[in-house]
Amino acid sequence: MSEIRQDITTNEWVIIATERAKRPHDFTKPLKPLPPEFEPKCPFCPGNEAQTPPEVLGYREGGTSNSPGWWIRVIPNRFAALQPSQVECEGEVKREVANGLFRKMDGIGRHEVLIETPKHNLYFPYFTDKQAEEVVIALRERYLALRNEPNVKVVIIFKNHGDQAGTSLLHPHCQIVATPIVPQSLRRRTAVATRYYDDNGGCLYCDLIQAEQKAGVRVVEDGAKFFVMHPYASRSPFETWVLPKFHSASFGNLDLDAAKDLGRVLKRITGKIFTMLGNPDYNIVIHTAPVKEEDEDYFHWHLRIIPRLTMMAGFEIGSGIFINTALPEQTAPALREVKFQ
């Protein structure tokens, strides 16, 4: 008999196939061979800076803008999903609702790429601590810049690693999209958390961390500033959540010490995932409050790492209910025990 579990942060359901669940070590794979350190055709490799739009941020030892010498570089995405308005605009982006059934607005916003390292094949787990820290510091810097742009409602930070995660660009990079609308899924998460606050007088996620600490069985790492777990209603095997242990609605409120700590946590956790699952395709997404709600008491920003080990099929698309063939109570201890470094 399988179990149907409810994600308390969204009210979404997940079917956990407990009976035919795979063991954590069924997912084990040897590490895929790495690409070369330099790839002449890669627009993100040093020396090819002219192939990208001019940089908006460079952490560099020497050289000038848009030349080698950087160790982290942020550029507008050449294939931007959203772009800055061409006209100076003080008001809100206008929505066209003339025909009520066909609502649209201009794709105003920002879409940036953060190149995490000059080395084509240096994935997150292999960074020095300092490099890992500075990637998070640079993300924070861009968050704080973009949140102040006109019309920006939410800044969404994510990473696609590998074909199955939606990218064929191997060079390590993250993306940052600033949108002029609040995604419905964030509205729902905020509504669920607000309702919980009204019912219980506290933050849902803070209480969830406490409950998971007490349960103990889904904890990957319980650090000084961050709590890492496999959620009770995991939608896919090895889905990993990283939550700040202090209440905070927005990634933008992260102080520099915590940002550095997060960099080291990410290096360690992705390192364990690489070691166990063999450099799998994966996504990272940061869930954070809308920019005008950064200080509220209800939502609690967090980061999710989602190894893409399974495909989304018709049942998931049709119902939103995921079927997970791994038990978080088994995958979390397995990942916790992986030796990395």
Nearest to 74 by CA among 142, 170, 124, 146: 142
79 near a second copy (CB under 8 A): yes
Cα gap 260→143, rounded to integer Å = 15
Min. distance of Cβ 236 from a second copy in angstroms?
A: 10
Name the residue nearer to a second copy (CB basis): 211 or 256.
211
Cα gap 193→96, rounded to integer Å = 31
Pairing of strands 282-287, 57-60: unpaired
Name the residue nearer to a second copy (CB basis): 248 or 338.
248
Name the residue nearer to a second copy (CB basis): 160 or 279.
160
Q: Listing from the earlier edge strand, what are the strands of the sheet with 110-115? A: 57-60, 70-76, 110-115, 173-179, 154-161, 282-287, 302-307, 240-244, 226-229, 219-222
One residue of 190, 283, 330, 331 binding a second copy per CB under 8 A: 283
Min. distance of Cβ 205 from a second copy in angstroms?
A: 10
One residue of 39, 106, 222, 294 binding a second copy per CB under 8 A: 106
The helix-helix angle for 129-146 and 256-277 (nearest 10°) equals 120
Name the residue nearer to a second copy (CB basis): 18 or 275.
18
H/E stretch holding 102: none
- Contact between 184 and 126 under an 8 Å Cβ cutoff? The reply is no
Please, which of residues 18-77 interact with a second copy by CB under 8 A? 18, 20
Phi, psi of 193 (to 5 degrees): -70, -35
Active site residues: 173
315 near a second copy (CB under 8 A): yes
One residue of 53, 54, 63, 166 binding a second copy per CB under 8 A: 166
- Eight-state DSSP code of residue 232: T
Min. distance of Cβ 267 from a second copy in angstroms?
A: 18
6 near a second copy (CB under 8 A): yes
256 near a second copy (CB under 8 A): no
292 near a second copy (CB under 8 A): no
Q: What is the CA radius of gyration of the chain?
A: 20
Token match 């069985």: residue? 217
12 near a second copy (CB under 8 A): yes
Please give the torsion angle defined by the CA atoms of residues 266, 309, 165 and 331, in that order, rounded to the nearest 10 degrees: -20
What phi-psi label fits residue 193: left (phi over 0), alpha (psi between -120 and 50 degrees) or beta?
Answer: alpha
142 near a second copy (CB under 8 A): no
Q: Which residue stretch of 1-9, 21-29, 39-47, 63-71 sits at the interface with a second copy (rule: CB under 8 A)?
A: 1-9
One residue of 167, 222, 245, 340 binding a second copy per CB under 8 A: 167
197 near a second copy (CB under 8 A): no
323 near a second copy (CB under 8 A): yes
Min. distance of Cβ 257 from a second copy in angstroms?
A: 25
Dihedral sign for Cα 158, 161, 163, 168, please. positive
148 Cα distance to chain centroid? 21
275 near a second copy (CB under 8 A): no
81 near a second copy (CB under 8 A): yes
Q: Which residue stretch of 64-72, 78-86, 140-148, 250-258 sits at the interface with a second copy (rule: CB under 8 A)?
A: 78-86
One residue of 164, 202, 206, 264 binding a second copy per CB under 8 A: 164
Min. distance of Cβ 29 from a second copy in angstroms?
A: 18
